[in-house]
């Protein structure tokens, strides 16, 4: 992208690729596009799938089971 995104029209801005906003979104993006990691036998599909599974079950679920710091601050005294 060779343009200032703050000067783009709304229609153009919709076409700009966005980065994932969370670990879960990142893992979903990796599920959909992992070919670049398979080139040159850097990783196998099994390694990538296992890593995604591990991060999903250990980290994403752990975060879902805990309150966000804002929630804690907002509701702790209630």
Most confident stretch, 17-21, 29-33, 69-73: 29-33
60 phi and psi angles, rounded to 5 deg: -65, -45
At residue 68, the pLDDT reads: 87
Give per-residue pLDDT as tens, 23-47: 999 999 999 999 999 999 999 999 9
pLDDT confidence tier of residue 11, bands split at 50, 70 and 90: very high
**CA pair distance 14, 19, nearest whole angstrom:** 13
| SS3 state at 20 | coil
Q: What is the DSSP letter of 15?
A: T
- Say if residues 63 and 22 touch (Cβ distance below 8 Å): no
Which residue, 54, 52, 60, 68, is CA-closest to 24?
Answer: 60
The Cα 22–Cα 69 span in angstroms is: 16
């Amino acid at each position: 992208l060779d343009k200032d995104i703050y000067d783009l029209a709304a229609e153009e801005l919709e076409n700009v690729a966005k980065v994932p906003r969370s670990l879960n979104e990142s893992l979903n993006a990796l599920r959909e596009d992992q070919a670049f990691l398979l080139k040159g036998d850097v990783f196998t599909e099994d390694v990538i799938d296992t890593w995604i599974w591990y991060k999903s079950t250990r980290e994403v679920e752990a975060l879902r089971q805990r309150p966000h710091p804002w929630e804690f601050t907002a509701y702790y005294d209630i």
